[in-house]
Structure 1
Amino acid sequence: MYNLETKVFYCQIDSCRAIKEYQKKGLCVRLLAVEEQFFSAQALERKEGVEVISIEVSYWAFLERLDGAGRVPAKAERDKFDLLDDSVRERSRWYRLEVDWNTKTRHGYAYPTFSEEKPRYFELVSCRTESQTISLGPAPLFNQEVMKLPLSHDTGISTSNASPWTLSAFHVGQGMCSIVSDGKQALLLDIGAGTPVTRPLYQEGKITNELAQVIEGIKTIDLILSHADQDHWRILAWDAELRKKIRHIFVPENAKSLAYKDPAIKFDIKEIQRLHIVLSTNSWLDVYRSQPKRDDDNGQCLVTVFESAGKRALIAGDYVYSRFPSDTNKDVADLQNQDFDAVVVPHHGDAESAHRIVKARQGAIAFFSAGNHRKFLHPTQISRDNHKKEKYTEICNNNCPDVRRVTLI
């Protein structure tokens, strides 16, 4: 746990318009932070890592105090602020937050990100944009472009008698999580969640958790993380037992996050540009690092294609179809010319995901992974309608309160 006397944190924004996990689920700014004593290039890159703190603070209190504003800005200014978390440059900006733990006013709360500790509440005293620029260093580069599973020295299992590999997606609210597994081994494709699936409900066991059931007998899991937004990895932070199973966490080359510096996952992080994962003689994963025309947060990502026994699925995180053709990675660009038996609809079915939808094979499934966030309103009706027009069968349950499994292939 961070020092109880800590009153100053240095933070980076994860989401400008999130929903609080606690405190009646009000609108908040979600940040990742370190204590003041660790705010230096040397401390952030130290070998043993640095504890990363999650902070959720009232959206209104944050904006009222930001750089001494003294008032909540007009809607036009707020709309501009709301878009900051789309920008790679703005997400790398640091903010200095000063808090007071000893008042009755509760603007927000903090807790160690990779923990089961209860939140500690505070009053936000001040908030300012930090003039000092500290860039985060990269994680180690994975030195293979082809990886074969199973690895005999890890599992002792031979591919000759392996069970069929399947792809399942999970309803996790405003997040994304899928799994490729043969029942004995598994790879996770994102492991995020969001409203109505929340940290307290998950950690207190108040929801049905079919992900936990699926991985119960699996000893070693690799995670392919499409990008660094928390709604794509938050279950990893919530679940200590799951973290014990993780061997590698593959992330896009040169796409950085403060979360990667926490010792709970720091030593598992591996950057990749391209990775072909052989699962069996007729099952594999291809993972491509995007090279987007527009440099934004959602565009700095990994796009995954799963193939098994002649069936093919696309899992692209928040990278929408219409961006494929202009991507300078030819493998990503070529996805627009392929057809699929299943897709996890990009970016939770937002309006952009309604365009240039990849071709559906007969009986293809479109899985919408979205929650009930009252600001985002995902999935959009146009995305749902257009996937149906392209002959996809829709699976959508954005009010599902549990972590529920749906087999796609």
Structure 2
Amino acid sequence: MSVDGMNVPVDLPPGGFYAQLDKIDAIQDYAPGRRCARFVGISPSDFSSGAFLGESGCQTYILDVSSKVLAKAMRFPAFNPIPNRALPDGAFDVLEDFWFYIKIEPSTEITDSYAYPAFTEASASYFNVMTVQIVGGLKLPLLEASHPEHKVVRASRATLSAFHVGQGMCSLYSYGDQRYLLDAGAGTPIKREVYRRRRFQDGTPFINELRTALGENEVIVIISHADSDHWRLLEWDLDLLNQAKVIYFPMGVTNLISRSKQLMGKLQALADHTFRFDSVNALSVYRTSRANTDNNGSALVAEAKCNGRNALVPGDYVYERIKSDSGADLAALAHQAYHAVVVPHHGDSASSREVPTAHKSAGPIAFFSAGTHPTYRHPRQVSLDAHTLAGYQVVNNPGCPHILRHPLL
């Protein structure tokens, strides 16, 4: 709901939320802009009735709960008490399968925590956290593989671009007027409030070159894995959501956001598949090994071929995991030379290992999609150096306040 183009808050579910953890250490999009734990939640009535399991889905909510408030409510120590130290990968993966009951008291003033209904025009509604409990609940259904159908309209060439979206990932494969969005995420310094208002607080216009690149074309969206920094733009941008003909998540994953009523009919699962356009243009997608159970490992890895040139777009699946994957076709990607790579996991330390060979052609690119999260500190210098040493031209702009396009192929 909006007034004069400005988003306004809405009433929150009585009693609070039943929720699942998305990010243990995020940065709030609205005031007070602090570190938070990000949850996807549903109302108590939808939880108790099992409405979230139905074919129609239900209304989901995004909750940004202050890290300090959550730690106090659960009697946990501070989640990351050591300043300027990154959280270890997978440290809290076990919590992603739990249900939390977050009892709240709505507030008419800005507090440390807020929520808003996902895939709507609403903005933050604030609350105080009363209690947080881990509770039992039904498991979410796994997404089963579909059989993609795509109609090829012949075009002269394909292109691949990556976008600076802060602490997130987003790339676009185009073949003529056909659009394939590889991840649709964003994060600090890109903020939901600024994105939706299309301007900063001082009135300066927010530049969104992704919107320009998409135009009004129908889009096929391929999400590498379930973390919100790889799909948040679909929630922020209802025009983009409406343009999406289909949204693919990895086969065999589950996530509470997938039960959103606004995604019903669009969301499907994808395993290995190649979208082939002609003899020199194709987009190949590979499902990672089922042995990998963490979010980053339960993923889709893409290889884009444009006019005989190729790029690796692995999401958060780092190179050494590609090399050791039990799928032969996916593991083979580690042994190719590339004209471009979108560096995995935002350029963390692990992405400095097993960097693939840079193609001998002029100007192979390593694109770092990272933001200004103070504890993740992406990209790491060791990764920047490793890609430079491997022969790539490094593209890195973590503080970019706009969504800007960078051609890769």
Same fold (TM over 0.5): yes
Amino acid at match of 2:401: P
Amino acid at match of 2:211: A
Deviations 1:273-309 (A, max 9, x none): 1111012332111100000654321000000001122
Give yes or no for the alignment of 1:236 onto 2:244: no
CA distance in 2, matches of 1:224, 1:394: 25
Amino acid at match of 2:395: I
Structure 2 equivalent of residue 198 of structure 1: 191
CA distance in 2, matches of 1:293, 1:87: 18
Give yes or no for the alignment of 1:142 onto 2:146: yes
- Residue 29 (structure 1) shift: 0.6
Structure 2 equivalent of residue 124 of structure 1: 129
Aligned residues of 1:44 and 1:261 also touching (Cα < 8 A):
yes
Aligned residues of 2:32 and 2:112 also touching (Cα < 8 A):
no
Aligned residues of 1:171 and 1:402 also touching (Cα < 8 A):
yes
Give yes or no for the alignment of 1:254 onto 2:252: yes
CA distance in 1, matches of 2:84, 2:209: 38
Structure 2 equivalent of residue 382 of structure 1: 382
Aligned residues of 1:16 and 1:85 also touching (Cα < 8 A):
no
Aligned residues of 2:162 and 2:407 also touching (Cα < 8 A):
yes
Q: How does 1:314-329 map to 2 (within 5 A)?
A: 314-329=312-327
- Residue 38 (structure 1) shift: 1.3
Matched residues, number: 393
1:4–1:236 distance in 2 versus 1, CA, 3 Å: closer
Aligned residues of 1:96 and 1:129 also touching (Cα < 8 A):
yes
Structure 1 equivalent of residue 177 of structure 2: 184
CA distance in 1, matches of 2:188, 2:138: 32
Aligned residues of 2:87 and 2:376 also touching (Cα < 8 A):
no
Aligned residues of 1:168 and 1:405 also touching (Cα < 8 A):
yes
- Residue 102 (structure 1) shift: 3.8
CA distance in 2, matches of 1:309, 1:232: 27
1:186–1:384 distance in 2 versus 1, CA, 3 Å: same
Structure 2 equivalent of residue 311 of structure 1: 309
Aligned residue for 1:6, secondary structure, equals coil
CA distance in 1, matches of 2:32, 2:109: 16
Structure 2 equivalent of residue 153 of structure 1: none
Aligned residues of 1:192 and 1:230 also touching (Cα < 8 A):
yes
Give yes or no for the alignment of 1:30 onto 2:38: yes
CA distance in 1, matches of 2:180, 2:67: 36
1:124–1:85 distance in 2 versus 1, CA, 3 Å: farther
Give yes or no for the alignment of 1:168 onto 2:172: no
1:289–1:370 distance in 2 versus 1, CA, 3 Å: same
CA distance in 2, matches of 1:231, 1:4: 24
Aligned residues of 1:339 and 1:359 also touching (Cα < 8 A):
yes
CA distance in 1, matches of 2:171, 2:301: 13
Give yes or no for the alignment of 1:404 onto 2:404: yes
Structure 2 equivalent of residue 215 of structure 1: 214
CA distance in 2, matches of 1:105, 1:214: 36
- Residue 72 (structure 1) shift: 4.8
1:396–1:138 distance in 2 versus 1, CA, 3 Å: same
Aligned residues of 2:71 and 2:79 also touching (Cα < 8 A):
no
Give yes or no for the alignment of 1:224 onto 2:217: no
Aligned residues of 2:348 and 2:378 also touching (Cα < 8 A):
yes
Aligned residue for 2:383, secondary structure, equals helix
Amino acid at match of 1:24: P
Structure 2 equivalent of residue 55 of structure 1: 63
Amino acid at match of 1:208: I
Amino acid at match of 1:129: I
Aligned residue for 1:352, secondary structure, equals helix
Aligned residue for 1:25, secondary structure, equals coil
Aligned residues of 1:166 and 1:180 also touching (Cα < 8 A):
yes
CA distance in 2, matches of 1:287, 1:279: 14
Amino acid at match of 1:141: A
1:352–1:186 distance in 2 versus 1, CA, 3 Å: same
TM normalised by structure 1 equals 0.91
Deviations 1:162-216 (A, max 9, x none): 1311000000000000000134110000000000101001000011000001111
Amino acid at match of 1:214: A
1:102–1:26 distance in 2 versus 1, CA, 3 Å: closer
Aligned residue for 1:259, secondary structure, equals helix
CA distance in 1, matches of 2:389, 2:13: 58
Aligned residues of 2:87 and 2:375 also touching (Cα < 8 A):
no
1:81–1:407 distance in 2 versus 1, CA, 3 Å: closer
Aligned residues of 1:14 and 1:85 also touching (Cα < 8 A):
no
Aligned residues of 2:11 and 2:125 also touching (Cα < 8 A):
no
Unaligned runs of 5+ in 2: 2-9, 200-205
1:81–1:343 distance in 2 versus 1, CA, 3 Å: closer
- Residue 4 (structure 1) shift: 4.3
CA distance in 1, matches of 2:84, 2:259: 31
Aligned residue for 2:275, secondary structure, equals strand
- Residue 104 (structure 1) shift: 4.8
**Which is worse superposed, 34-43 or 379-388?**
34-43
Give yes or no for the alignment of 1:393 onto 2:393: yes
* RMSD over equivalenced CA pairs, Å: 2.3
Structure 2 equivalent of residue 359 of structure 1: 357
Structure 1 equivalent of residue 95 of structure 2: 90
Deviations 1:249-293 (A, max 9, x none): 111111111111112112211112111101233211110000065
Structure 1 equivalent of residue 18 of structure 2: 10
1:407–1:386 distance in 2 versus 1, CA, 3 Å: same
